[in-house]
Amino acid sequence: TSRPSNAPRVVEPKNPLRTTDPGTIEMLKVAQENKLETVFDRFVAQQPQCGFGYKGICCRICLAGPCRVKAEDGPASRGICGATAYTIVSRNLVRMIAGGAASHSEHARHVLHTAHELVEGKTKDYEIKSPEKLHKLAEKLGIETLNRDNMEILGDVTELAYEDFGRYKDRPAAFLDSFLIEQRHNKFLNTNIMPRNIDGTVTELMAQTAQGVDADPVNIIFGGLKGSLADLVGEYIGTNLSDVLFGIPEPIVSEANLGVIEEKMVNIAVHGHNPVLSEMVVGAARELKAEAQKAGAEGVNIVGICCTGNELLMREGVYLATSSASQEMAILTGVLDAMVVDIQCIYPSLTQLCDCYHTKMITTEAIMKVPGAQHLAFNSETAMEDAKKLVRIAIEAYKRRDPKKIALSKTRNSLVAGFSIEALTDIFGKINPERPFSVLTDAILSGQIKGVVQMAGCNNLKRQQDESHVAILKALVKNDVFVVATGCSAGAFAKMGLMNSEAVEEYAGEGLKSFIRQLEEANPQLSTKLPLVFHLGSCVDNSRGMDLVQAMAKELGVDTPKVPFAASAPEAMHEKAVAIGSYCVSMGIPTHVGTMPYLEGSDLIYGIATQIAHDVFGGNFIFEVDEKVAAQKILNALEYRTWKLRIHK
Ligand code: XCC
């Protein structure tokens, strides 16, 4: 191609709109007609992006820089301090992991504070929605449950979670170690990447990569892997405590894409990641239906965007309006009355579009404000009151809609979500109650299905939105792979109508089809048929996938690197995705990434990520931007593992 050697790999879109999502295409036409700027315009305006930054060889860690490492020999091949490309690339990379771990654990910390306030009696609006999960979790963590009050048990669980944030004693973080099979526990201890806490690990990573500290790329990368496991500690806290407070997800029917934003309703989008506020907004919306009707609407319609959307979809069946790259499109419908945001993946540009419409943008968390948005500090002591204020702001805004600006989307697709590890255990358990996951592993060993793939990650406009998520999914299911999904990958499938039973008929290979039908026959109690791809939840719920791969490992009597299980993030974007990918590799999983992380400036680091990681942890990165080739590489990885398993059986 004519790409300059240093330029970022941007996949040329097949249509000029850079998206394949039909709802987004409808709204982009509205944007163009009205000359409204969106992320799709800004992406083009940024081209060509900086080649040094893209390759990870721009160092801005100290004020002597920025240093750009050049390909030629001599002094320009190093930074001013003498740092080589491999040092700079590895430092930059692991600082992204630190950012990801900080983000996921900040989300978890908020859920934890809420649980703690419940224990302290400081909030009346939350409850232990799932005592069953609380007991299961406590037992896993080694906390006594016999003849104890639930609040007392939750008190001990929250204390232990707080310790996991700040422990200085030399013992592994409980919210990771208690979830690990023995082989991974030993591996992480032996390679010195087992984190004892979250906050200290993130801090250590920043210190390790400061100017004039660690220059050894291998040591830096190992520090990064420890950071990625600290990210997983945060995810385990986030997922498990959310299940305790808001319930364990169970199969649930809903709809997705921008058509779920309805003209006759007061529409509130909840966007970001944290279920602590948005769960309250759902409750407040139910309570304030009469007020919405008084204003002329039929009721209040809560719709989700990004992972807050996934959290609410999984537990409440709330409609999923859209995913990250198309978040602005919700406003362009002209009938979105409020955009309520918490943290992460929220474009600051939203206020710019809200200004052109009647839509109120409201930020709710102390660390997340946007100029031009109204800030309503959300407090768990006054949670329901705060949520009602938000709903009332939306009802007021509803009255100011401009009929000339209404441009509804017609795209909405049915879906089935809610597949927590508990839900999967129940479904498989109807076939084999003693050993539920043998249902999955036996199907792999018999050749009925080819393995399991966890599809995760974001949107990244270096690719056409959602195209590669969908292309890889279709290739996998056609080849009889059982697919689970999280985050904006799950969002893509939901929006495109691929997360329902009709899609099984249309896209699954014969083996996968028969496997899913077999599960349905064994589960007549389910009020719905099963989907083509199983929604595990939000970004933090990638932890559920780690439970799944380890349950399969236990069933097979092997360590995770032997399990026919792979991961794929075709459009990785956020620092969190770098952290997730890195812990997947540490967990022994072949991990495909379709948008390049900033590491091509060092062959050594590229080699560590794709090969040496495999020698040490049994998992490795598969960097592949071509989706057809990527699907084939994932299938090959599964096939190789299955072949080896069969030989040793
Ligand atoms: Fe953000 Fe979670 Fe990525 Fe989507 S998927 S763009 S992180 S919302 Ni986790």
Span 452-473, pLDDT tens digits: 999 999 999 999 999 999 999 9
Integer Cα distance of 491 and 503 in angstroms: 15
299: three-class secondary structure by DSSP: coil
Span 384-411, pLDDT tens digits: 999 999 999 999 999 999 999 999 999 9
Probe residue for ligand 1, chosen from 488, 536, 542 as the CB with the greatest number of ligand atoms within 8 Å: 488
Ligand 1 centre from 157 Cα, in Å? 28
- pLDDT for residue 649: 64
Give the count of alpha carbons within 13 A of 198, CB side only. Answer: 30
Does 540 sit in the ligand 1 pocket, CB within 6 Å?
A: no
Q: First CA to last CA across the chain, in angstroms? A: 47
Hey, which bits of 551-594 come out as E strands?
565-569, 591-593
Residue 15 pLDDT class (50, 70, 90 cuts): confident
Ligand 1 centre from 507 Cα, in Å? 26
Span 258-272, pLDDT tens digits: 999 999 999 999 999
| Alpha-helical regions (H) of 409-541 | 421-429, 438-445, 467-478, 487-495, 501-507, 510-522
Vertex 454: Cα angle to 134 and 223 (nearest 5): 80
- pLDDT for residue 1: 32
- pLDDT for residue 8: 72
- pLDDT for residue 6: 64
| Alpha-helical regions (H) of 499-574 | 501-507, 510-522, 542-556
Does 487 sit in the ligand 1 pocket, CB within 6 Å?
A: yes
Q: Which amino acid is at 192?
A: N
The average confidence (pLDDT) of the chain is: 96
Probe residue for ligand 1, chosen from 21, 465, 573, 595 as the CB with the greatest number of ligand atoms within 8 Å: 573
Helix (H) or strand (E) holding 281: helix 275-287
Ligand 1 centre from 428 Cα, in Å? 29
Nearest-CA residue for ligand 1 atom 3 is 458
Q: Which of 273, 300, 333 is nearest to 488 (CA)?
A: 273
Integer Cα distance of 300 and 291 in angstroms: 9
ipTM for the complex shown: 0.95
Ligand 1 centre from 100 Cα, in Å? 11
Please enumerate in sequence order all residues whose Cβ is within 8 A of that of 409, keeping only pairs 6 or more positions apart, or say none.
23, 26, 27, 257, 258, 259, 261, 329, 333
The answer to whether the beta carbons of residues 466 and 496 sit under 8 Å apart is: yes
Is a pLDDT exceeding 60 seen at residue 293?
yes
Span 608-642, pLDDT tens digits: 999 999 999 999 999 999 999 999 999 999 999 99
Does 574 sit in the ligand 1 pocket, CB within 6 Å?
A: yes
Does 324 sit in the ligand 1 pocket, CB within 6 Å?
A: yes
Integer Cα distance of 222 and 175 in angstroms: 20
Integer Cα distance of 88 and 569 in angstroms: 24
The answer to whether the beta carbons of residues 353 and 333 sit under 8 Å apart is: no
Nearest-CA residue for ligand 1 atom 2 is 307
Residue 3 pLDDT class (50, 70, 90 cuts): very low
Probe residue for ligand 1, chosen from 107, 271, 314, 345 as the CB with the greatest number of ligand atoms within 8 Å: 345
Hey, which bits of 273-389 come out as E strands?
300-305, 319-322, 336-341, 360-363, 374-375
Nearest-CA residue for ligand 1 atom 8 is 306
Ligand 1 centre from 274 Cα, in Å? 12
Over residues 284-304, the mean pLDDT reads: 97
Span 200-227, pLDDT tens digits: 999 999 999 999 999 999 999 999 999 9
Span 104-147, pLDDT tens digits: 999 999 999 999 999 999 999 999 999 999 999 999 999 999 99
Ligand 1 centre from 174 Cα, in Å? 26
Integer Cα distance of 329 and 467 in angstroms: 18
Does 457 sit in the ligand 1 pocket, CB within 6 Å?
A: yes
Q: From the alpha carbon of 306, which atom of ligand 1 is closest? A: 8
Q: From the alpha carbon of 273, which atom of ligand 1 is closest? A: 2
- pLDDT for residue 73: 84
Span 552-610, pLDDT tens digits: 999 999 999 999 999 999 999 999 999 999 999 999 999 999 999 999 999 999 999 99
Does 576 sit in the ligand 1 pocket, CB within 6 Å?
A: yes
Tell how many helices (H) and how many strands (E) occur in the chain: 27, 16
- pLDDT for residue 4: 46
Nearest-CA residue for ligand 1 atom 1 is 345
Nearest-CA residue for ligand 1 atom 6 is 458
Does 305 sit in the ligand 1 pocket, CB within 6 Å?
A: no
Q: From the alpha carbon of 344, which atom of ligand 1 is closest? A: 1
Does 310 sit in the ligand 1 pocket, CB within 6 Å?
A: no
Q: From the alpha carbon of 574, which atom of ligand 1 is closest? A: 7
Residue 436 pLDDT class (50, 70, 90 cuts): very high
Does 307 sit in the ligand 1 pocket, CB within 6 Å?
A: yes
Long-range contacts of 430-435 (CB under 8 A, 24+ apart): 430/519, 430/522, 430/523, 431/518, 431/519, 431/522, 435/555
Probe residue for ligand 1, chosen from 103, 231, 307 as the CB with the greatest number of ligand atoms within 8 Å: 307
- pLDDT for residue 176: 98
Probe residue for ligand 1, chosen from 576, 580, 584 as the CB with the greatest number of ligand atoms within 8 Å: 576
Phi, psi of 328 (to 5 degrees): -65, -25
Vertex 317: Cα angle to 311 and 320 (nearest 5): 65
Does 458 sit in the ligand 1 pocket, CB within 6 Å?
A: yes
Hey, which bits of 150-286 come out as E strands?
252-256, 266-272
Lowest mean pLDDT among 5-19, 257-271, 357-371, 446-460: 5-19
Token readout for 239 is 């997922």
469: three-class secondary structure by DSSP: helix
